[in-house]
Chain A
Amino acid sequence: MKKITITVIFNQWGHGYINVIPSNYNQWNPVNSSSMDYNLDSGDYTFTYNTVTGGGGSISIADSAGNILANNTLATGMDQGNFRLTI
């Protein structure tokens, strides 16, 4: 098992829908800037996000050592995207 952390930051306000695939459909719905830890078995994963923000923001994925594995900026209004990582 490896620990990864997804962090979303909303510049003004925002909420989002974050999915880690494959997983057990436990969609994470951050309502404010926040982070979530996942303990994952080694393998290929797809991380999808869909956000609604005022003022945009950012999303990043880091490993347990704090290394950023992937990141993206979030546009104001509705935005979405995906990351594919081998954990």
Chain B
Amino acid sequence: MKRIAFFILFAFLFPALYAQQTTTKTQAAKSATDTVKQKIATADSTKQIIRTAADLKSGTSQDVLSSFFKLAYQNLSDGHRFQFSSSLFAVKAKTDTTLWIDTNYNKHVFLRNLVLGIDLGLDSSNKFKDASLSIKYALVNNRDKNIFEFRSNGKQLDTYLDLANRLYAKGITVYGASKPKSADYTSAINFCYPDKKHPKTKLDSVPKRFLNILDSLQKDKQFVQIKNFNVENLLDSLKDTYNTISGLMSQASLWTVGGQITTNQQNALSRGNLNTEYLKGITNNKSSMGLELDIKGELDIYDTTAVSKSYNRNVLSSSAGINWIIYKDKKSQKSYVEFKPALAYNNILSGQIPGETKSKFTGDGILRFRITDNLWLPIDIKYDPQSGKFFGLLNITSNFDWLGASKTLASAN
């Protein structure tokens, strides 16, 4: 029980102690100048971009490295497991909101890439079985880095969009001033700004005079940055560019190394684990599905007791799988259904228990359903080669930032 108390204490005290350390800085910021207030306002807007980038990550990616906080429950065949993990960034950002400012976010690579976790295992009678502490660091985290590549590309895209809209608005105004027929005027507007109620006018139905006006305006020096764009599908081209950039974020590589120590009722240190994992998107990001390569390697060092005998046991395991993003929203690029089949290989380097197979290949898979932006239902599907049977275990995983999405309505008058 003392051990349980220690782990629970760690889980709740660690964020609190860390937060306490940063509270002093926050209080100083409050009493400082308006510049700080301005920074916080900026942080508010960039925070949404960071959140959206996290939403675009696959469920597997969030399992490899949590962006903020993660709470998970696993229903195992021999009991239950509760997991909580948090990036150091998420803890610190709870009290220092200026961390959300893009320049600050960029600086704190260590905070973003380091994730700490705690697990608590219960047996089938809901009694303490084991508990673990884990640490993970991303040596390569191009998924987060790309948030700001997206932003800088996004800024260029914003410039193009601004000019495209000014060009169209000016074109419609000039064309409207020449008193065209109402149907022609409608054709021109619906060509530039189609929506559900107003289908896009086909090019051969657009009044030639309107196209000539657009061509002529495009040569003006104020539109020099978009002079090479095809005026006939200006917004469509920019929309494709936007989708490509946002899709790129979910394709980038992620490589982590980590360790975990476990205690149980028999041993203060019953298991040590070293692990590494590599994840990389390998498909065209514009499609409504996707594939991610996921390679894992682990070394488990056990101090275990079986039939009254202690074994110092080392097990090397590795797995390679493909995470198949079965369905993702083509517009938002968010993943909703994923399946990751994997081939795993286990080799007992030392401490083989009598009757146990030294090395074996197994197959397993995880089927994931996204219920909300923050909630995933992963189902572990395992294949037992000895019995030749498949069985599934239902889990619940929530990735969240404890801040909630803001829907502010500010006056721009």
In contact, B409 and A27 (Cβ under 8 angstroms): no
Check B412 against A35 for contact (C-beta < 8 Å). Answer: yes
Known: A31-B45, A84-B189. A21 touches B166 (CB 8 A): no
**Nearest chain-B residue to A72 (Cβ)?**
B195
Complex CA–CA separation, A28 to B330 (angstroms)? 29
Q: Is B243 an interface residue (CB 8 A)?
A: yes
Q: Which residues of B contact A28 (CB under 8 A)?
A: 412
Closest chain B residue, CB of each to CB of A75: B331
Q: Is B193 an interface residue (CB 8 A)?
A: yes
Give Cα distance in the complex from A50 to B168, angstroms. 11
**Chain B residues whose CB sits within 8 angstroms of the CB of A31 once the complex forms:** 45
Contact in complex: B193, A50 (CB < 8 Å): yes
- A82 shortest CB reach to chain B, Å: 4
**What count of chain A residues pass the 8 Å CB interface test?**
40
Given contacts A31-B45, A33-B410, A48-B169, is CB(A17)–CB(B161) below 8 Å? Answer: yes
Contacts A/B (CB < 8 Å), 16 sampled:
A13-B52, A21-B176, A28-B412, A32-B408, A33-B407, A34-B409, A35-B409, A35-B411, A48-B172, A50-B161, A50-B164, A54-B49, A77-B243, A77-B246, A78-B161, A81-B197
Q: Which residues of A contact B52 (CB under 8 A)?
A: 12-13, 54-55
B158 adjacent to A27 (CB under 8 Å): no
Interface of B is mostly: helix
Interface residue A22 (Cβ < 8 Å from any Cβ of B): yes
Chain A nearest CB: distance from B12 CB in Å? 30
When A72-B195, A77-B239 are in contact, do A52 and B161 touch as well, CB less than 8 Å? yes
Report chain B residues within 8 Å CB of A52.
Answer: 157-158, 161, 242
Q: Which of B132-148 contact A (CB under 8 A)?
A: none
8 Å CB interface, B76-129 against A: none
Q: Using Cβ atoms and an 8 Å threshold, which residues of chain A touch B162?
A: 17, 27, 29
Report the bound CA distance from A36 to B195 in whole Å.
22
**Contact across chains for A15 and B48 when beta carbons are under 8 A apart:** no
Tell me whether A34 and B48 are in contact (CB under 8 A): no
- In this complex, the interface size class of chain B, counting residues with CB under 8 Å from chain A, is 35 or more
A82:B410 contact, CB within 8 angstroms: no
CA distance A22 to B166 in the complex (A): 12
The answer to whether A82 touches B48 (Cβ under 8 A) is no
Which A residues lie within 8 Å of B238 (CB)? 78
- Whether a CB of chain A sits under 8 angstroms from the CB of B413 is yes
Per-position 1/0 for A9-28, Cβ under 8 A of B: 10111010101011101011
Residues of B within 8 A of A82 (CB): 189-190, 192-193, 195, 198
Which 5 A/B pairs are nearest by Cβ-Cβ distance?
A: A81-B195, A13-B48, A17-B165, A54-B52, A19-B169
- The answer to whether A46 has its CB under 8 Å from any CB of chain B is yes
Chain B residue nearest to A37 in the complex (CB): B413
CB B287 to nearest CB in A, in angstroms, measures 15
Q: Give the Cβ gap from A36 to chain B, nearest Cβ, in Å.
A: 5
- Provide the bound-state CA to CA distance between A13 and B198, in Å: 25
The reply to whether A48 and B242 contact each other, CB–CB distance below 8 Å, is no
Contacts of B186 in A (CB 8 A): 84
| B9 in contact (CB, < 8 A) | no
Output the residue of A33, A55, A75 with the most chain B CB within 10 A. A55
